[in-house]
Amino acid sequence: MSDAVDAIDRMGLDPGAEILIEARGVSKRFASYHRRATSLKERLVRREESEGDVFWALRDVDLVVRRGETVALTGPNGSGKSTMLKVLAGILRPNEGSVDVRGRVASLLELGAGFDGELTGRENIYLNSALLGVPREETDALFDMIVDFSELGEFIEYPVKHYSSGMYVRLGFAVAVHVDPDILIVDEVLAVGDAAFQRKCLNRIEEFQRQGKTILFVSHAAGQVESLCTRAVLLERGQVLFDGPPRQTIKRLNGILGVDNIAMVAGEMARISDFAIVDTGTDEGVEEFTAGSSARVTCTLTIHQPLPEDARFSLHINAPGQSDAVAHVSPNWHVVSADRLPVGEHAISWQVDEWPDMPGDFSLALGVFLGPTLIAAARLDGLRLSSGQVRHVPGTLVLDGTTQG
């Protein structure tokens, strides 16, 4: 490496530093899922997709990242952050605009990306680094460090399908940071790990910064963004709303999200407040759940006027960018007679017995209806579901020749 490049590295935030990521006028369009023709017959029947069925996930986005910068990408769910990272990583091709990325990129875009469930952690380290373009000898040399960092210990010899989501992240992150990339691209996956591991990852990111590497990551954590980043970009509905100092970006983000991620409709007749999801055991607010676990959804319903008829309650899970609910908390409609809801405040508590197995980011919406009319509603963003899937393999333990009951 030349002295000149070293000098730039040491200077850190040189505004004239070499541009490593340059995206100009990037637009990305998706055809809605149900409109995609995948059989020959469908193709022949319907030749062109009509314009009405496309959705712009990114619109005319410019992003320039220079060597040594750490840039956070923030924005509400469905604003196009992950799509932008995929375009930059070269997984998706933009429909318009140009993308130029110079240098070796290590990306960590989704949980368990690049892992094969049937292989052990050890074998997956080799597979993953081969995918990242690292020669086998280099992986041999890094192997012990990667295992150390991941803290997986002897689990490294087990098939990763038995890993928890936290273990997946640890392994994925450990590989990504050890392969000596010029650019590190990380989506929201970090939030899955436990606090101690997150701390370790952040330390590692700081070390990367000192080495003058370029980092682009998605985060909503105001503290993280402000302490770590040199710049933060706010996306909304696929457009860059703001690109500047982290503190200002976070302020605008909070402006869009409303207080604490909660959007509320306050009507004349009734109003919902203190909408929260709490752990059934501890009563503490939680945002992340594994499939099959339970929780309680609580809120305060304030009735301003006597209700003329019975109220119907609906609680459902929405995916970003989709208008229809992806899941209803059964029963679909919960009817509460009017005389149980006199004027005043009522504590509502809704038990969710089992979160569905559909990993992703969702929002939870609660609606109160009188007949067809919505009189009060609230939405809670940032509900994160993960697949808690642990497979059971039949087996028998034998001790001193005797089967254990």
Partner 1 sequence: MGLTRTRGTQTRLRTALIRQLVRKDLKVKYQGSTLGFLWSLANPLLILVVYTFVFAVVFKSPVPYFGIFLMSGMLLWNFFTMGVSGATTSILANAGLVKKVPFAHESLPLAAIGFAGAQVALQYIVLVGALFVVGLPPLRPELLLIIPALVVVIAATVGLGMFAAASTVRLRDTQHFVEVALFAWMWMTPIIYPATFVHERLGDGALFWAYYLNPMAGPIVCFQRALYGVVHYPDTEATRASGQAGQLLLPSADVSFYLQALGLSAITATVFLIAGLWLFRRRSADFAEEL
Ligand X SMILES: Nc1ncnc2c1ncn2[C@@H]1O[C@H](COP(=O)(O)OP(=O)(O)O)[C@@H](O)[C@H]1O
81, 170, 178, 271: residue in contact with ligand X (rule CB under 6 A): 81
Site membership for partner 1, residue 347 (CB under 8 A): no
Chain positions 79 to 138 lying near partner 1, rule: CB under 8 A, are 86, 89-93, 102-105, 107, 109-110, 112-114, 116, 118-119, 123, 126-127, 130-136
Measure the CA–CA gap between 230 and 66, rounded to whole angstroms: 11
- Residue 92 contact partner, candidates Mg ion, partner 1, ligand X, none, CB within 5 to 8 A by sort of partner: partner 1
Nearest-approach distance from CB 150 to ligand X, in angstroms: 25
The string of DSSP letters for 108-145 reads E-STTTT--TTSBHHHHHHHHHHHTT--HHHHHHHHHH
Site membership for ligand X, residue 320 (CB under 6 A): yes
Measure the CA–CA gap between 271 and 268, rounded to whole angstroms: 8
Site membership for partner 1, residue 40 (CB under 8 A): yes
Chain residues that interact with Mg ion, rule: CB under 5 A: 82
- Residue 180 contact partner, candidates ligand X, Mg ion, partner 1, none, CB within 5 to 8 A by sort of partner: partner 1
Q: How far is CA 235 from the centre of its chain?
A: 14
Site membership for partner 1, residue 291 (CB under 8 A): no
Site membership for ligand X, residue 318 (CB under 6 A): no
Strands 105-108 and 239-244: unpaired
Site membership for ligand X, residue 249 (CB under 6 A): no
Site membership for ligand X, residue 80 (CB under 6 A): yes
- Residue 321 contact partner, candidates partner 1, Mg ion, ligand X, none, CB within 5 to 8 A by sort of partner: ligand X
23, 70, 82, 160: residue in contact with ligand X (rule CB under 6 A): 82
- Residue 83 contact partner, candidates partner 1, ligand X, Mg ion, none, CB within 5 to 8 A by sort of partner: ligand X
21, 66, 79, 109: residue in contact with ligand X (rule CB under 6 A): 79
Q: In this structure, are residues 64 and 197 in contact, taking their beta carbons and an 8 Å threshold?
A: no
Measure the CA–CA gap between 81 and 125, rounded to whole angstroms: 27
List Cβ neighbours of 124 (8 Å cut-off, separation of 6 or more).
114, 115, 116, 160, 171
User: Which tokens sit at 171?
Assistant: 């392994």
Q: In this structure, are residues 365 and 315 in contact, taking their beta carbons and an 8 Å threshold?
A: yes
Nearest-approach distance from CB 390 to ligand X, in angstroms: 27
Q: What are phi and psi of 21, to 5 degrees?
A: -125, 125
Considering beta carbons, is residue 108 or 352 the nearer one to partner 1? 108
Residue of 395, 386, 376 lying closest to 307 (CA atoms):
376
Residue of 390, 361, 358 lying closest to 189 (CA atoms):
361
Measure the CA–CA gap between 321 and 32, rounded to whole angstroms: 11
Chain residues that interact with partner 1, rule: CB under 8 A: 1, 30, 36, 38-40, 43, 86, 89-93, 102-105, 107, 109-110, 112-114, 116, 118-119, 123, 126-127, 130-136, 180, 182
Chain residues that interact with ligand X, rule: CB under 6 A: 30, 55, 57, 75, 77-83, 320-321
